[in-house]
Amino acid sequence: MPTPEVSTPRRAWQIDRELRLAAIPLDRRTHPSEWYTSETVFPTGDELIKLFWNATVPGSGAPEIPYVEMAQSLHNQGYDVTKAEALLPEGIELAAEGRMDDLRTLTAELLARLHGAPQIPDHPYWRYTYPGPTWRSVRASLRDADPDQDRRALEGLETKTLDGWLGQLAGGAFGTAIEGYHTDRIAEVYGVIDSYITTPETMNDDVVYELVLLDIFERHGRQLTARQLGLEWVRQIPFGWSAEWIALRNLGMGMMPPGSGSFRNPYSDWIGVQMRGMVCGMLAPGWPLEAARLAWLDGTVSHARNGIYGGMYAAVLTALAYVRQDERALM
């Protein structure tokens, strides 16, 4: 008798890829975005669990499943999440059927398996060193960094800063309308895209965290601490997503940076700090080391390791752009 085939459970990345390949973009020319307003009631309890099993991106309407993303993110960080991944198909099914009691129980088990996942000994992630979490440790690894500010950056400072800020807003307004979809699917709905597909919006999470940083930096200047910034998040930002959502949860339980960004945060390597790192470069024009420090300070609120380093990179590029005109050389 032939040996029956044993089906291999789908990995988190496969589930996510299939979801994105199948998703037809919501035509933003006829459908408004769903960014939060002052009237938004944010989900808690069962409503939050349901959302994390069946979510959509506020600006584009693209589907996503945060619990699937958590599993994939931890695998990327060198953890064996196969036991957690085995629960994902059932969780998706329970969510679709609205079986809340079973879904709540499965979700608790899923999170237990994720947070208890063992390291993969030979995974590339563990071949590198990760300076931190203190700035002193990170600074020691930047031995060749120039500690001084290039005063040429102060020439035409306001114009350069305005141009950079508008450029960032333009990129966010363009991208938020289509993010989360596959290129081929986007082309099916919009054809060739050579401009905004709808009236530009400046409300998105690319800029909210930067505005909070600017607000508190105006009050505290370069003496600002990560703890002060984290508490300002709690004051001004009622809800977040991925790494920032977990950071707000941790902060609300009294866990200050860097713990707020690292504790049970599968998304700690995601690009949130890189997304908002440019403003740190604008606060330190021609001063890359200070830009890196500010990005590290900001990053420890919600991320760790690579997630913070990505923000430092964006901040340093922005700071250097004030005094260097060759984009390729900068990169």
Q: Verify that 230 and 321 share a domain, yes or no.
A: yes
The pLDDT assigned to 39 comes to: 85
Q: Which domain holds residue 43?
A: 12-127
Same domain, residue pair 118 and 213: no
Amino acid occupying residue 243: A
Do 208 and 85 have their domain in common? no
**149 and 97 co-located in one domain:** no
Checking if the pLDDT of 329 tops 90, the result is no
Q: What is the pLDDT of residue 95?
A: 98
72, 96, 127 - which closes a domain: 127
H-helix segments, 78-204: 82-85, 88-97, 100-115, 135-140, 157-175, 183-190
CA distance 254 to 281: 29
State the average pLDDT over residues 295-300: 98
| Mode of pairing for the β-strands spanning 55-56 and 63-64 | antiparallel
pLDDT of residue 130: 96
Predicted TM-score of the model (pTM): 0.94
**Letter for the amino acid at 191?**
G
Task: With respect to residue 5, please indicate whether it lies within any of the assigned structural domains.
Answer: no
Q: Are residues 123 and 140 in the same domain?
A: no
Which one of 23-32, 57-66, 106-115, 317-326 scores highest in mean pLDDT? 106-115
Residues 64, 184 within the same domain: no
| Type of residue found at 258 | P
| pLDDT value, residue 210 | 96
- Residue 280's nearest CA partner among 248, 308, 244 is 308
180 has pLDDT over 80: yes
pLDDT bracket for residue 1 (50, 70, 90): low
> What is residue 263's predicted lDDT score, i.e. its pLDDT?
98
Average pLDDT over residues 128-146: 94
Query: Could you count the other beta carbons within 10 Å of the beta carbon of residue 331?
Result: 7
Any idea what the CATH number is for the domain that residue 173 is in? 1.10.4080.10
- How many beta carbons lie within 10 A of that of residue 67, not counting itself? 25
Chain segment 30-77, per-residue pLDDT in tens:
988 888 877 889 999 999 999 999 999 988 999 999 999 999 999 999
For 238-277, the pLDDT digits (tens) are 999 999 999 999 999 999 999 999 999 999 999 999 999 9
Q: How far apart are CA 137 and CA 240, in angstroms?
A: 29
- What does the pLDDT read at residue 32? 87
